[in-house]
Structure 1
């Protein structure tokens, strides 16, 4: 793990605010897609924002960003059409196999996140940053 990340704590999607599963929500990147971690925030139309990051778990240079158990959980979930959710320092983090993000991977991660909450993926929108 990198020194800036704490130990991940598994998150049950049903412990997240109900408003994330009942109405329109926008996930907005607060970082560019450069690197293994994209910080972001979920903004429901009728509720308070929730910090929510995306992490590509396979980045290993200069040091691994995730331990073996975290990587395994991410890959198993993804293989079955789901996502693994954890919290690092209180921030919800969607774990995604890979080393970096492209727009398609971000869209798929948020689609799977919505499904994990029991929400309609069509109720979710994604806003990306063009640059750093």
Structure 2
């Protein structure tokens, strides 16, 4: 039996490091997008770095990834062109509607993060890994 993971806890973008809104930033995946509902990665702007994952909130097997209120808030934010942020297992997570990721969804999530921290999406880049784990 797999141990139950902690539920994501909402994070305010204003609580994130200032450099995310002040410098060029690269989000790099640590695994391929086909990893599943959670794609581990990191935000880097040398010399700074923080862990940052993509988390698809609608995955429900073998257990729901998020509680219904957080899932609803994620969908509402997405519908309005925003992104919901959380701490998940001690890592920053970009909460995204759906059950998996493709390149377009990853780019959109990171672009919305840029806006959330007051940066232009032009200052953000995405580096993806190809393939299955």
The answer, yes or no, to whether TM exceeds 0.5 is yes
Instruction: Supply the RMSD in Å over aligned alpha carbons.
Output: 1.3
Gaps of 5+ in 2: none
Residue 57 of structure 1 corresponds to 57
Structure-2 separation of matches of 1:100 and 1:53: 12
Residue 44 of structure 2 corresponds to 43
Q: Secondary structure at the match of 1:61?
A: coil
Counterparts in 2 of 1:16 and 1:30: CA distance versus 1, 3 Å? same
Structure-2 separation of matches of 1:21 and 1:108: 17
Structure 1 segment 1-132 matched on structure 2, within 5 A: 3-34=3-34, 35-45=36-46, 47-131=47-131, 132=133
Structure-2 separation of matches of 1:11 and 1:69: 15
Structure-2 separation of matches of 1:90 and 1:36: 17
Q: Secondary structure at the match of 2:65?
A: coil
Gaps of 5+ in 1: none
Moved over 4 A (4+): none
CA contact (8 A) 2:7 2:65 kept: no
TM-score by length of 1: 0.93
Q: Offset of 1:4 from its aligned partner?
A: 4.6
Give the number of the structure whose residues are more often strand, by fraction: 2
Q: Secondary structure at the match of 1:101?
A: coil
Give the aligned length: 130
Structure-1 separation of matches of 2:94 and 2:51: 11
Q: Secondary structure at the match of 2:98?
A: coil
